[in-house]
Amino acid sequence: MDLQKLLAPTVEAAKEAGAFIRHERENFNQGKVEHKGFNDLVSYVDKESEKIIVKALRGIFPEAGFITEEQTVAQEDTTWKWIVDPLDGTTNFVHGIPSYAVSIGLAKDGVVMLGVVYEVGKDECFTAYRGGGAFCNGRPIQVSTVDELSRSLIATGFPYHLGDRLDAHFDLLKDLVKGSHGLRRIGSAAVDLCYVACGRAEAYFEYNLQSYDISAGTLIVEEAGGNVSDFKGGRDFLFGGEVLGSNGKVHGLMLEKMAGLAAKK
C-alpha cells in the first residue's frame, strides 16, 4: 500500500468536511443538537460531515472498512479500516469555541498507518504516515525537547463518565497544577495530540476515549518523535480507552505521576 499516495486525497476529504463545518458554524442552530448521553452532544453537522468523509474515502480506498463515531456506515471485518471522527470537539463547536477538528486515521490490523487531523478554526492540517514523519500544513513538525515536568505544559480532558476514577483524577490534576507550567483542557483529543506533536504541549492524557478520538493524533505524535502509551506504559491505547501522548522526554515522569489513576482501571 502506497501510504504517501493516499495522504493527499485523505487531506482533501478532511478539508472538504472542514469547509462544511465552518460554513454551518456561521448560522448554527443549537435547537438541532441531540444528546447521546449527559454532556455527550451530537449535531446534524457531525452526521453530515461523516457522510462527506465516508463518501470521499470510499473513492480513495474502496477495499477498506470503517469505524466511525456517528455510525453512518456499517462496520466491516476488513484488514484495513478508516477510523473517522467527523467533528472532534462537538461541545466546543456547539458553543462557538473555535477548537474542533476532523480526524481520519487508516489502520491495518489495528495499527494506525496514516493520520490526518484538520483543525478547522485555525486552518491547520496535521498529517503523518508511518515512517514518513509528521507535518503541519506541509511543514515538518517535532515534539519539544523539554525534559522536566516543572517546565511542561500538560493537556488533558474530562471524560463524560468519570466513574470511580474521579478522586484519583483530581488528585493527579492538583499535583500537576503545582508541579508544571500548567494544565490545559482544549476540548478535542485530536487537537491535544497534535499540539504535543508540534511542541505546543509536552504531554496529553485522557481516559474513556474511543479509537476515533485518537487514531490519527497518536500516529502524528509518534512520527513527530514522541511517545504514546496507555496509563501503564503499554501499547493498549487505540482500543483500550486511555492514552498518554508526550514528547518522550517526560513520558516516564508522567507515568509515575499517573500511577494512582492507572490503578483504578
Determine whether the annotation assigns residue 3 to a binding site.
no
What are the tens digits of pLDDT across the range 28-42?
766 656 555 443 445
Residue 109: strand, helix, or coil: coil
Alpha-carbon dihedral 52, 40, 180, 127, rounded to 10 degrees: -10
pLDDT of 41 reads 47
What are the tens digits of pLDDT across the range 101-110?
999 999 999 9
Is domain 3-140 classified as CATH 1.20.120.1810?
no
Determine whether the annotation assigns residue 46 to a binding site.
no
Residue ranges of domains in the chain:
3-140, 149-262
Which listed CATH number (3.40.50.150, 3.40.190.80, 3.40.50.920, 3.30.230.10) goes with 149-262?
3.40.190.80
| pTM greater than 0.75 | yes
Determine whether the annotation assigns residue 230 to a binding site.
no
What are the tens digits of pLDDT across the range 80-105?
999 999 999 988 998 899 999 999 99
In the chain the first and final C-alpha atoms are separated, in Å, by 37
